[in-house]
A and B are shown apart, each in its own frame.
Chain A
Amino acid sequence: MEDLLELAIHGLTLGALYAMVAAGLALMFGVVRLINFAHGEFYMLGGYAFWYAYRELGLPYPVAGLAATGILSAFGWAYEHTVIRTILARTWHVQLIATLATSITLTNLAILVFGTQPKEVPTALSSTILEVGGVRLAWQRLVVLGAAILIFAGLEWFVARSKMGKAMRAMSQNREACAVVGVDVQQVALATFAISAALAAAAAVLVSPLFNIFPDVGALLTLKAFAAVITGGFGYVRGAIAASFLIGITESLAAGYLSYAFKDAIAFVVMVIVLLVRPQGLFGRRIGI
């Protein structure tokens, strides 16, 4: 029983990680209908930016975290301005290949700049253990969960209430109409990418103290985030978040009770099953984010 609780809590940590990455992916697809294969690299670069600020510059954890998120926000903005803008009007084949090419470039540049040795960023909270009800967990895991909840609440508020958020929602529902009524489509796209990159970076800041950072870390994350986005129903941010937690918990339970070696296949098995049974995703094909 203790095991179940233990694995469930761990599954929540995983789920929060996947959710923050998948939310950005779903947002991008929802607003500009683009699949960004380089999304995992946002996480990876966010991780390195955080490592540099925290370990090399010695900034306090919250400052380093905000700095990393800010840097990636700017990077996401720049990425949209240069690469994405050129491919927005093209076929999805071109978009997939172009973003994949970006992923290859960024990953190998990271190897050249940071080296192949993984970087570790333990924090005070990741080394301090909390024991409750026979379950031991690092305080950092609670920070991950708490921060994720706050972030998602913030995202909800932003999309529902802020001017830009409303523009993003409108654009996700009907892009042509937006251009007609005078919504600045370019600005909305820039903001979407800045936010998505920031989300991925935030995930890295929160989660890397528990794991580590290396150039290839984005690859598997991108795939699992995609699995979550598809399972939740393309372009539906809440669906992606819910699916992420589903995948995280399933992965943790399956790894704990069934087989650890096969755990990476779990996300894909879940995705394929959902796709075959309900191709429109768990929550149906919704219009808008």
Chain B
Amino acid sequence: MTLTRRTLTRRIAIAAIAALILAPGAGVPRVAAQSPPPIKVGFSSAMTGPSAITGEGVKWAAQMLADEYNAKGGIMGRKIELYFGDNAGTPGEAVSAVRKLVDVDKVDVIIGQTHSGACLGALPIVKELAVPMVIEACSNPKIRELIGKTVNEWAFRVNPDDVMLANQFAKYMSRQAKTVSIFAQNDDFGRGAATAYDAAFKKVGIKLVSTEFFDRGQADYRPVLTRVKRAAPEGVLLVMLASEGSVFMRQFRELGLTQKLFARGSMATQEFLFQVKDTPAIADGLVEATYWTPALDPEWDKRWLERWKVPVRVHGSLAAIAFRYAVAPAIEQAIKKTGRADRKAIRDALEEIDIPNTPVGRIKFDETHQAFINMLIVEIKGGQLRLVETIPIQP
């Protein structure tokens, strides 16, 4: 009797552990090593947790990029090998993700961390481990003080934050509205934007009527829309992503609000238009300040849709910007100059590259390791996206 029970327990335990080992794995190298050694690129984002949708976008983009470059034989004949880290959107997990990518997967360069908390947690680690990290989307303005030649020479950032965009966008907004309410998601992106625009509005004479924050995943906006209706601003600045934006716009129209719409996030995107395809004109007139739009590379959107069966995700496009226009050219330059694509060579190359005419603008990292790409004003008109203006961001 005892013998049977022990055997049973052991068998179940073995089965469970086997299931854990054999179940689909992340981080499996996509290409077997060949004679010029592959270049190992790590993508770190929120693969689990409440923001898992962003990590999925980054992962899909990475897979498309690896295929794109490897089809051409890689970079200077060296294939791209992908590795993924999960930071769950928090600084603690970001530490784990970076350490795993560097010590276990032995990546040569990291693109990440998408969410500011994770970025902040990762920064000291990439410095300690001496691996270059290119930030593609973290928007906390404090990051600018924490990266750069003197502070942290291993970290770079491609994307602008709202402190960098606010003055220009506020100037644009002031032509169309004198009073504005801000409605922002309650995370680092939304809070950072709200603070930045609060300051910028003062400079251009816009009166900030009210600021409201909402938690992502809570699709019930009517009470706050009632508050906005009462405050009666001329314009509303939405700091939100397409997945919330579509539900928001339905309720906006349900209440009969007619304010001029401005946005920061991923409102003027194919993703948004897909979510509202039953009423495509629901957000006509909305104007968004962003740094990526399909018009810059229609092929990318098409390939994404073909492969993943859903419209392109903004966080995927942002990761692609970082890889295509900063990391890949840096790797190429490193190999040309030194024959190597190790961590230090890539870092040095990142510091030196100056590519004036990429689709997103000029890629050159200044002393604070920040690039200054273009700000795009994109409008939704007739249920379609229209690139209205391209404004280079001033340092």
Q: Do A and B bind each other?
A: yes
- Which chain A residues have a beta carbon within 8 Å of chain B's beta carbons? 3, 6-7, 10, 14, 111, 115-118, 120, 122, 126-127, 129, 131, 136-138, 210-212, 214, 216-217, 220, 251-253, 255-256, 260-261, 263-264
Q: A10-B223, A260-B214 are in contact. Are A138 and B56 (CB under 8 A)?
A: no
Q: A116-B53, A211-B247 are in contact. Are A220 and B218 (CB under 8 A)?
A: yes
B226 touches A256 (CB 8 A): yes
State in angstroms the CA–CA spacing of A117 and B314 once bound together.
Answer: 13
B247 touches A136 (CB 8 A): no
> In the complex, which residues of chain A have a beta carbon less than 8 angstroms from the beta carbon of B69?
none
Option from A111, A138, A251, A260 in Cβ contact (under 8 Å) with B224: A260
Asked if B278 is an interface residue, CB under 8 A from chain A, the answer is yes
Asked if B389 is an interface residue, CB under 8 A from chain A, the answer is no
**Contact sample, A vs B, 5 pairs, CB 8 Å cutoff:** A7-B223, A10-B223, A117-B243, A127-B250, A261-B212
Asked if B174 is an interface residue, CB under 8 A from chain A, the answer is no
B223 touches A220 (CB 8 A): no
Q: A6-B226, A116-B52, A127-B278 are in contact. Are A136 and B254 (CB under 8 A)?
A: yes
B56 touches A116 (CB 8 A): yes
Option from B50, B186, B224, B250 in Cβ contact (under 8 Å) with A122: B250
Interface-central residue, A111, A138, A210, A260, by most chain B CB under 10 Å: A260
User: In whole Å, how far is A224's beta carbon from the nearest beta carbon of chain B?
Assistant: 11
> In the complex, which residues of chain B have a beta carbon less than 8 angstroms from the beta carbon of A264?
215, 218
State in angstroms the CA–CA spacing of A131 and B215 once bound together.
Answer: 29
Option from A120, A129, A256 in Cβ contact (under 8 Å) with B275: A120
B226 touches A7 (CB 8 A): yes
A255 touches B224 (CB 8 A): yes
Chain B 171-229 residues near chain A, CB threshold 8 A: 186, 212-215, 217-220, 222-224, 226-227, 229
Asked if B255 is an interface residue, CB under 8 A from chain A, the answer is yes
User: In whole Å, how far is B214's beta carbon from the nearest beta carbon of chain A?
Assistant: 7
State in angstroms the CA–CA spacing of A122 and B219 once bound together.
Answer: 13
> In the complex, which residues of chain A have a beta carbon less than 8 angstroms from the beta carbon of B278?
122, 127
> In the complex, which residues of chain A have a beta carbon less than 8 angstroms from the beta carbon of B370?
none
A129 touches B254 (CB 8 A): yes
User: In whole Å, how far is A77's beta carbon from the nearest beta carbon of chain B?
Assistant: 27
Over the window 252-263 of chain B, the binary record of Cβ atoms lying under 8 Å from chain A Cβ atoms (1 yes, 0 no) is 011110000000
Closest to B54 in A: A116
> In the complex, which residues of chain A have a beta carbon less than 8 angstroms from the beta carbon of B212?
260-261
Asked if B12 is an interface residue, CB under 8 A from chain A, the answer is no
Asked if B310 is an interface residue, CB under 8 A from chain A, the answer is yes
B223 touches A136 (CB 8 A): no
Interface-central residue, B213, B214, B220, by most chain A CB under 10 Å: B220
User: In whole Å, how far is B246's beta carbon from the nearest beta carbon of chain A?
Assistant: 6
Q: A127-B279, A261-B213, A264-B215 are in contact. Are A212 and B247 (CB under 8 A)?
A: yes
User: In whole Å, how far is A217's beta carbon from the nearest beta carbon of chain B?
Assistant: 8
Closest to B51 in A: A116
State in angstroms the CA–CA spacing of A111 and B47 once bound together.
Answer: 11
State in angstroms the CA–CA spacing of A251 and B221 once bound together.
Answer: 12
Asked if B230 is an interface residue, CB under 8 A from chain A, the answer is yes
Apart from A220-B217, A252-B223, A260-B214, 12 more pairs, CB < 8 Å: A7-B226, A10-B222, A115-B310, A118-B219, A122-B250, A127-B279, A129-B254, A129-B256, A212-B246, A216-B217, A253-B223, A261-B215
User: In whole Å, how far is A133's beta carbon from the nearest beta carbon of chain B?
Assistant: 13
State in angstroms the CA–CA spacing of A212 and B216 once bound together.
Answer: 12
State in angstroms the CA–CA spacing of A260 and B247 once bound together.
Answer: 17
B53 touches A117 (CB 8 A): yes
State in angstroms the CA–CA spacing of A252 and B227 once bound together.
Answer: 11
User: In whole Å, how far is B25's beta carbon from the nearest beta carbon of chain A?
Assistant: 14
State in angstroms the CA–CA spacing of A116 and B230 once bound together.
Answer: 35
A136 touches B256 (CB 8 A): yes
> In the complex, which residues of chain B have a beta carbon less than 8 angstroms from the beta carbon of A138?
254
User: In whole Å, how far is A188's beta carbon from the nearest beta carbon of chain B?
Assistant: 33
A263 touches B279 (CB 8 A): no
Over the window 28-61 of chain B, the binary record of Cβ atoms lying under 8 Å from chain A Cβ atoms (1 yes, 0 no) is 0000000000000000000000101100100000
State in angstroms the CA–CA spacing of A138 and B251 once bound together.
Answer: 9
> In the complex, which residues of chain B have a beta carbon less than 8 angstroms from the beta carbon of A116?
52-53, 56
Q: A116-B52, A126-B250, A261-B213 are in contact. Are A14 and B220 (CB under 8 A)?
A: yes
User: In whole Å, how far is A126's beta carbon from the nearest beta carbon of chain B?
Assistant: 7
Closest to B228 in A: A260
A118 touches B254 (CB 8 A): no
Q: A120-B275, A220-B218 are in contact. Are A261 and B186 (CB under 8 A)?
A: yes
Closest to B53 in A: A116
Q: A136-B255, A138-B254 are in contact. Are A255 and B223 (CB under 8 A)?
A: yes
> In the complex, which residues of chain B have a beta carbon less than 8 angstroms from the beta carbon of A252?
222-223
> In the complex, which residues of chain B have a beta carbon less than 8 angstroms from the beta carbon of A6?
222, 226
> In the complex, which residues of chain A have a beta carbon less than 8 angstroms from the beta carbon of B255?
136
Option from B214, B219, B227, B253 in Cβ contact (under 8 Å) with A256: B227
Option from B227, B229, B251, B256 in Cβ contact (under 8 Å) with A260: B227
State in angstroms the CA–CA spacing of A252 and B220 once bound together.
Answer: 10
State in angstroms the CA–CA spacing of A40 and B203 once bound together.
Answer: 47
User: In whole Å, how far is B198's beta carbon from the nearest beta carbon of chain A?
Assistant: 16
